[in-house]
Amino acid sequence: MEKGLEEKTGKTLSHWVDIVKKQKLEKHGQIISFLKSEHGFTHGFPNFVAHKARKSDAGSQNADELLTAQYSKGKEHLKPIYDKILSHVLVFGNDIEVAPKKANVSLRRKRQFALIQPTTKSRVDLGIKLNEAELTDRLETSGPFGSMCTNRVQLTDVSQVDSELIEWIKTAYEQAG
């Protein structure tokens, strides 16, 4: 996003953040409106600049802090599910991007192929982006993930990270290449 901003506007992210700070705009919507009206931005870039200027994006925290926050407040026992999924996924190839956000972790190749999200104190939802997968009692429709993923698997125990689950994730990884 940052590279695209510079290519599109000819100016760096820090330049735009400085402009916003000089305007003394604090609210997200105000920043977006200002950049659209005064600088001709479309929605994506001013939203990005607003998050960076306000330090409200996931990038303002490091990956460890984001993961710690996701698996806190009674969800600590779910972290081994995440760890086991990741340990299997990372052997698929060296082109995997692990992108922690505030509520989940996105796994990407050329595009996102999976999303790991602790949803309650008793469950981790694994979203998978599969082309034409046959639904089973475990492999559901995407549910709350909407178009980010095509399918969801609800996990309550590390033993559920089995060969069937890993195969679904590997298929999604291959389709994302």
Q: Could you read off the pLDDT of 114-151 as tens digits, one per residue?
A: 999 999 899 999 999 999 899 999 999 998 888 889 99
pLDDT digits (tens, 9 = 90+) for 34-57: 999 999 887 678 878 887 887 766
Comparing 43 with 80, the larger pLDDT belongs to 80
pLDDT surpassing 80 at residue 168:
yes
pLDDT, the chain, mean? 89
pLDDT band at 98 (very low <50, low <70, confident <90, very high): confident
pLDDT band at 175 (very low <50, low <70, confident <90, very high): very high
pLDDT band at 59 (very low <50, low <70, confident <90, very high): low
Predicted confidence at residue 115, as pLDDT, reads 96
Spell out the SS3 assignment of the chain.
CHHHHHHHHCCCHHHHHHHHHHHCCCCHHHHHHHHHHHHCCCCHHHHHHHHHHHCCCHHHCCHHHHHHHHCCCCCHHHHHHHHHHHHHHCCCCCCCEEEECCCCEEEECCCEEEEEEEEECCEEEEEECCCCCCCCCCCEECHHHHHHCCEEEEECCHHHCCHHHHHHHHHHHHHCC
